């Protein structure tokens, strides 16, 4: 099917059809279908780890409990201020905001778009992600502007004896 | 001599579903709906044998010299 363009037009000295390309750039219908099938294979393999982690998570179902962690003393956090901490492990950065006298909220502050750290802008009363200007509502964690679509995971906090503790990571309501 | 594009179209549709399912897997994982994650991951994996099947069946159909088969 490929020699259609390789015919020497007439029998004289051949100056024009002397490059032999060996069809190296050919992509025919069959080759294209082969590529598509191969791509399906790549997709299949690449979803395996997600499935595996999800299965693992399903086995050890339920709320995982972590030891409560002290974030700060109440007297060090003024109303409208925020404190950075990490919870539940040292690799999960999080942020605590004191919204009013008795209202504390805390979120894991890896942006739900591409995981940049979200920070609290006191003057605008909003959590802002510097990377692509995602914004989150401080009292619920819900995204209000920009690329993020998923709320920030909330962290339950508790005030005991003048100190603020992180208790657990809230699960999303299904 | 007529070309058959059915296989190409089906495979392209499969690839589209692959992309959609992959996106759903990632999102549902972060939403902590692990059951749904598994479901979509399973569908994504199932699409591969289907794609192979379609390819095997369609690779010799049509083409510019279909009469040569
Ligand atoms: S990473 Fe936060 S908006 Fe893109």
d(CA B6, CA A75): 71
**Which residue among A127, A132, A141 has the greatest number of ligand 1 atoms within 8 angstroms of its CB, and so is best to mutate?**
A132
* A101: in domain: yes
A116 near A110, Cβ under 8 Å? Answer: yes
pTM: 0.70
Q: A146 is written with which tokens?
A: 């920009």
Instruction: Assess contact for B16 and B47: CB atoms under 8 A.
Output: no
Q: What is the mean pLDDT of residues B3-30?
A: 92
> Which phi and psi angles does B55 have, rounded to 5°?
-60, -50
Range of the domain at A111: 69-169
Domain count, chain A: 1
CATH number at residue A74: 2.102.10.10
The pLDDT score that the predictor gives to residue A4 is: 67
Answer whether A143 contacts ligand 1 (Cβ < 6 A): no
pLDDT tens sequence across A44-74: 999 999 999 999 888 876 556 778 888 888 8
Residue A85 clears pLDDT 50, i.e. is over it = yes
CA–CA min distance B59, chain A (Å): 6
User: Does the residue A28 lie in any domain?
Assistant: no
């Amino acid at each position: 099917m490929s020699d259609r363009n390789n015919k020497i037009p007439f029998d004289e000295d051949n100056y024009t059809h002397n490059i032999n390309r060996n069809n190296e750039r050919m992509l025919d219908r069959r080759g294209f279908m082969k590529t598509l099938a191969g791509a399906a294979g790549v997709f299949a393999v690449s979803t395996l780890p997600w499935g595996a982690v999800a299965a693992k998570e399903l086995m050890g179902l339920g709320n995982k409990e972590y030891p409560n962690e002290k974030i700060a003393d109440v007297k060090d956090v003024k109303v409208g201020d925020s404190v950075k901490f990490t919870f539940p492990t040292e690799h999960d950065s999080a942020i605590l905001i004191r919204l009013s006298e008795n209202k504390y909220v805390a979120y894991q502050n890896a942006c739900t778009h591409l995981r940049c750290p979200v920070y609290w802008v006191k003057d605008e009363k909003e959590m802002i992600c510097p990377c692509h200007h995602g914004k989150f509502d401080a009292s619920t964690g819900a995204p209000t502007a920009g690329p993020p679509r998923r709320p920030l995971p909330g962290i339950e906090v508790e005030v005991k004896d003048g100190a603020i503790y992180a208790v657990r990571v809230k699960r999303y309501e299904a | 001599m007529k070309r058959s594009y059915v296989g190409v179209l089906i495979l392209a549709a499969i690839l589209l579903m692959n992309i959609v399912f992959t996106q759903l897997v990632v999102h549902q994982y972060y939403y902590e709906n692990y059951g749904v994650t598994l479901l979509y991951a399973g569908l994504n994996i199932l699409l591969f044998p289907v794609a192979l099947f379609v390819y095997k069946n369609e690779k010799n159909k049509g083409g510019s010299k279909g009469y040569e088969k």
